[in-house]
């Protein structure tokens, strides 16, 4: 059997074990092996790997061993193991925010978005409240917190400031329909830095990255070339007017977030 074929078989067996635990509840190694008609040793090896990956955990068997031996051990799915079969949190969150809008209007949605952003960045607000923190240091702290929340954030220095770059947005589907979520994050960032911050690109608006510019010099308004130069040499997420290929900059004017309908093409 080739390595590719072996990996395919291994993956099928792993999936079968997970599905058995999903449909059958806690199972011993012997239970799984009997149901799937597999060797107990092979099932045990897969279970060890699933334990290591955090997809299953051990629990007491429903029917304990008779006699004085070691108590029977069963396996069950962890929350991470259940997520392996998919979820629909985006739809649930969108419906919840939409219901909030219908009952309380945009004011209620903005209040919710502001509270969410403040809660997410609360640790940064307390830790960087002292004047000795530079914008660069604050940006690094913010990137750490955002990354813990799934934003895969990093900080990039430019000649005129720093850019807070988020390579992932865990709420992009909801934010594309409810732009107040992005706006609240930018307002929270402005409060943390004590100055205006400039959104340059947004995943929720169809870009590949979310980028926010934090100026560290005086007034910074102009074209994309003013940010990155005519060669489009930075990484803020869009393209310069002079770039011959898709590049990395947008004109430095505020993004106007607009709600999108799921499945509809972005303008």
Confidence of residue 45 (pLDDT cuts 50, 70, 90): very high
pLDDT in tens, 65-78: 555 556 679 999 99
Res 145 pLDDT > 80 = yes
What is the pTM (predicted TM-score) of this model? 0.63
Q: Distance (Å, rounded) from C-alpha 59 to C-alpha 157? A: 50
Res 46 pLDDT > 90 = yes
pLDDT in tens, 192-225: 998 999 999 999 999 999 999 999 875 444 444 4
Regarding predicted confidence, which is higher, 133 or 176? 176
Q: What is the mean pLDDT of residues 18-25?
A: 92
Q: In the prediction, which pLDDT does 259 show?
A: 52
Phi, psi angle pair for 158, to nearest 5°: -125, 175
Q: What is the mean pLDDT of residues 86-91?
A: 86
The domain spans of the chain are: 3-83, 89-228
pLDDT in tens, 162-174: 999 999 999 999 9
Q: In the prediction, which pLDDT does 10 show?
A: 57
Lowest mean pLDDT: which of 2-16, 44-58, 162-176, 182-196? 2-16
Res 227 pLDDT > 70 = no
Asked if 165 and 235 count as a contact pair (C-beta separation under 8 A), the reply is yes
For the structural domain made of 3-83, what CATH number should be given? 1.10.10.10
Among 122, 101, 121, CA closest to 112: 101
Among 237, 234, 230, CA closest to 209: 237
Q: How crowded is residue 68: how many other Cβ atoms within 10 Å of its Cβ?
A: 5
Q: CA separation (Å) from 7 to 2, 18, 49, 78, 194?
A: 9, 17, 14, 24, 54
pLDDT in tens, 125-138: 776 666 678 889 99
Burial class of residue 129 in the structure, from the number of CB atoms within 10 Å of its CB (0-12 exposed, 13-18 middle, 19+ buried): exposed
Q: What is the mean pLDDT of residues 32-61?
A: 94
Tell me the two tokens of residue 166: 């988020």
Give SS3 for 263.
Answer: coil
Asked if 228 and 234 count as a contact pair (C-beta separation under 8 A), the reply is yes
Q: What is the DSSP string of 45-68?
A: HHHHHHHHTTSEEEEE-SSPPSSS
Lowest mean pLDDT: which of 47-51, 75-79, 84-88, 147-151? 84-88
89-228 shares the fold of 3-83: no
For the structural domain made of 89-228, what CATH number should be given? 3.30.1380
Tell me the two tokens of residue 156: 């990039």
Res 8 pLDDT > 60 = no
């Amino acid at each position: 059997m080739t390595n590719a074929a072996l990996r395919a078989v291994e993956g099928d067996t792993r999936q079968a074990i997970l599905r058995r635990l999903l449909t059958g509840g806690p199972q011993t190694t012997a239970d799984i092996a009997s149901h799937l008609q597999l060797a107990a040793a092979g099932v045990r090896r897969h279970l060890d790997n699933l334990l290591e990956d955090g997809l299953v955990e051990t629990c007491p068997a429903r029917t304990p061993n008779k006699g004085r031996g070691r108590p029977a051990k069963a396996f069950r799915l962890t929350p991470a193991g259940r997520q392996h079969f998919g979820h629909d949190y985006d739809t649930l969150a969108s419906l919840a925010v939409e219901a909030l809008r219908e009952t309380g209007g945009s004011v209620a949605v903005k209040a919710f978005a502001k509270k969410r952003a403040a809660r997410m960045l609360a640790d940064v607000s307390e830790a960087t409240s002292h004047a000795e923190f530079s914008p660069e240091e604050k940006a690094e702290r913010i990137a750490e917190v955002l990354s813990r929340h799934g934003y895969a954030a990093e900080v990039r220095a430019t000649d005129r400031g720093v850019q807070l770059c988020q390579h992932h947005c865990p709420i992009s589907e909801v934010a594309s329909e409810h732009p107040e979520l992005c706006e609240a994050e930018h307002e929270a960032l402005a409060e943390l830095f004590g100055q205006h911050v400039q959104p340059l690109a947004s995943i929720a608006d169809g870009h590949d990255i979310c980028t926010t510019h934090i100026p560290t010099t005086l007034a910074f308004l102009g074209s994309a070339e003013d940010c990155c130069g005519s060669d489009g040499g930075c990484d803020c997420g869009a393209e310069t007017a002079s770039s011959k290929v898709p590049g990395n900059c947008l004109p430095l004017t505020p993004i106007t977030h607009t709600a999108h309908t799921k499945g509809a093409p972005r303008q």
